[in-house]
Amino acid sequence: MTKWEYATVPLLSHATKQILDNWGEDGWELVSVIPGPSVDGDPRNQQLVAYLKREK
């Protein structure tokens, strides 16, 4: 049976590609991106969160 490990990563809008490329180089696969908490409670400043997995 395949075993997985998971990571949750905040994505910065100005560096999303670089962040995902760096994790991908370490063998992580992007599973999903969802809205994360908003900065200062303002929904216009909402960040994104990436969920990644890789085989253990």
pLDDT tens-digit map of 3-30: 999 999 999 888 999 999 999 999 999 9
pLDDT given at position 40: 76
Structure letter (DSSP) for residue 32:
E
Q: What architecture is the 4-55 domain classified under in CATH?
A: 2-Layer Sandwich (3.30)
pLDDT given at position 14: 86
The full set of domain ranges for the chain reads 4-55
The model's pTM? 0.82
* CA gap 37, 34 in Å, rounded: 10
* CA gap 5, 50 in Å, rounded: 14
> Kind of pairing, strands 29-38 and 46-55?
antiparallel
- Which residue, 9, 8, 10, is CA-closest to 45? 10
